[in-house]
Amino acid sequence: MQTNFTLAQLADPDIAEANKILRACVHCGFCTATCPTYVLLGDELDSPRGRIYLIKSMLESGAPADAGVVRHVDRCLSCLSCMTTCPSGVHYMHLVDHARAYIERTYRRPVFERLLRAVLAAILPYPERFRLALYAGALARPFAPVLAALRLRPLAAMLRLSSWPRRPALPAQQVYPAAGERRGRVALLTGCANQVLKPSINDATIRVLNRLGIEVVVPPNQGCCGSLVHHMGWEDQAHAQVRANIDAWTAELGEGLDAVIINASGCGTTVKDYGFMLRTDSAYAAKAARVASLAKDICEFLSTLTLPAAIRATGLSVAYHAACSLQHGQKIVRQPKELLTKLGFAVRDVPEGHLCCGSAGTYNIVHADIARRLRDRKITRIEQLAPDVIAAGNIGCITQLATGTAVPVIHPVELIDWATGGPAPEGVVERGRGASVREGQSASETVAMGARS
Residue type, 38: Y
Q: Which of 89-103, 139-153, 208-222, 345-359 bottoms out in mean pLDDT, i.e. has the lowest?
A: 139-153
Q: Which of 97-106, 425-434, 435-444 bottoms out in mean pLDDT, i.e. has the lowest?
A: 435-444
CA atoms of 157 and 432, how far apart (whole Å):
39
Q: No. of H helices and E strands in the chain?
A: 26, 9
**What's the rounded mean pLDDT across residues 262-280?**
97
CA atoms of 333 and 315, how far apart (whole Å):
23
Q: What is the pLDDT of residues 234-262, one digit of tens each?
A: 999 999 999 999 999 999 988 889 999 99
From residue 291, give the alpha-carbon distance in Å to each of 186, 270, 274, 295: 12, 11, 7, 6
pLDDT above 70 (res 393): yes
Q: Which helix (H) or strand (E) holds 51?
A: helix 48-61
State residue 409 phi and psi, 5-degree precision.
-110, 115
**What's the rounded mean pLDDT across residues 130-147?**
90
Using pLDDT thresholds of 50, 70 and 90, give the confidence band for residue 427: confident
Kindly indicate whether the domain formed by 317-452 is annotated with CATH number 3.40.50.1860.
yes
Cβ 315 vs Cβ 347: under 8 Å? no
Say if 7-106 and 175-302 have the same CATH topology.
no
Task: Provide the whole-model pTM.
Answer: 0.90
Buried b (16+ CB within 10 A) or exposed e, 311-339: bbebebebbbbbbbbbbbbbebbebbbeb
Report the pLDDT value the prediction gives residue 312, as an integer from 0 to 100.
74
CA atoms of 324 and 80, how far apart (whole Å):
7
**What's the rounded mean pLDDT across residues 154-175?**
87
Q: Name the β-bridge partners of 295.
A: 260
pLDDT above 90 (res 450): no
pLDDT above 60 (res 452): no
Q: What is the pLDDT of residues 38-48, one digit of tens each?
A: 999 999 999 99
Closest CA to 208 of 419, 394, 409: 419
DSSP state of 423: B
Closest CA to 288 of 355, 239, 333: 239
Residues ≥6 apart with Cβ < 8 Å to 139: none
Percent of the chain at pLDDT exceeding 70: 94
CA atoms of 65 and 99, how far apart (whole Å):
9
**What's the rounded mean pLDDT across residues 292-321?**
92
CA atoms of 100 and 94, how far apart (whole Å):
10
pLDDT above 60 (res 129): yes
Domain residue extents for the chain: 7-106, 111-161, 175-302, 317-452
3-state secondary structure of 296: strand
Using pLDDT thresholds of 50, 70 and 90, give the confidence band for residue 438: very low
Using pLDDT thresholds of 50, 70 and 90, give the confidence band for residue 431: low
**What's the rounded mean pLDDT across residues 288-309?**
96
CATH architecture of 175-302: 3-Layer(aba) Sandwich (3.40)
Residue type, 113: E
Q: Name the β-bridge partners of 185.
A: 215
3-state secondary structure of 402: helix
pLDDT above 70 (res 185): yes
Cα 149 from chain centre: 30
Q: Share the mean pLDDT of the chain.
A: 91
Complete DSSP assignment for 148-199: HHTT-HHHHHHHHH-------SSPP-SEEPPSSS--EEEEEE-TTTHHHH-T
**What's the rounded mean pLDDT across residues 311-334?**
92
Cβ 297 vs Cβ 332: under 8 Å? yes
pLDDT above 50 (res 125): yes
3-state secondary structure of 358: coil
CATH architecture of 7-106: Orthogonal Bundle (1.10)
